Amino acid sequence: MVTESSLRAYEEGAIPRIDALVAIAKAAGVNLSWLATGEGSRHVGESDDCQCSSEHAIVANNQPFHDDLHDDFVYVKGYSDVAAAAGHGAFVGQEDSDRQFAFRRLWAVVEMGLEPELAAVIRVEGDSMSPTLAPGDSILLDLRETRFARDAVYVFSWDDGLFVKRIHRTGRSSFRAMSDNPLYPPMEFDQSNVNELCVVGRVVWAGRRM
């Protein structure tokens, strides 16, 4: 038996013992492996169509999510053919969505304030943002942020390329796009070229497979 006080402690981040995990899994009717690791199918007897990519998200390749997830998760379109790097890319929306990511509603909507229909998940290509972002990482974009309103990591299109960079404001109408990898020089934007770029969105989350 798991006490109410123990459940509250687990919700706040405490790690339960294996016997407590077994009791919770049986009571909730979920797989012990999914409860302990977040990987595999959630419910007993389900196939493993969904793969966990972080503590906040589940990704599925054109597979419907189980009905029980609808209250706990919100869904964001993913574009595996769209990659942001120091090279050529495409605008989000010009490609067809071929994946969907389920993010925990409490985190995505309540904590982060996202509107799922105005968000997208794309890939990272290249090592210009290493070690923060690695090639193949998935990044979640808030598509409402279409200008550099704050110093943060953004995806933007410029000179036929799709880039993911850390933006630092250097003046009222000037910005520096910096790579976390020191081998890549910064990109400077001012009144002479800032109107040539298009901000796709701000990066609010990154996930990767190990």
- What pLDDT was estimated at residue 67? 47
Give the strand pairing for 73-84 and 119-124.
Answer: parallel
How far is it, in rounded angstroms, from Cα 27 to Cα 15? 18
Q: Give the chain's mean pLDDT.
A: 77
The answer, as to whether pTM is greater than 0.85, is: no
- What pLDDT was estimated at residue 114? 95
How far is it, in rounded angstroms, from Cα 127 to Cα 134? 6
- What pLDDT was estimated at residue 173? 84
Phi, psi of 191 (to 5 degrees): -60, -20
Q: Judge contact between 120 and 143, C-beta under 8 A.
A: yes
- What pLDDT was estimated at residue 45? 47
Question: Is residue 140 pLDDT above 90, yes or no?
Answer: yes
Q: Which of 162, 82, 80 is nearest to 129 (CA)?
A: 162
Write the DSSP symbol of residue 76. E
Contacts of 114 (CB under 8 A, 6+ apart): 74, 103, 108, 142, 204
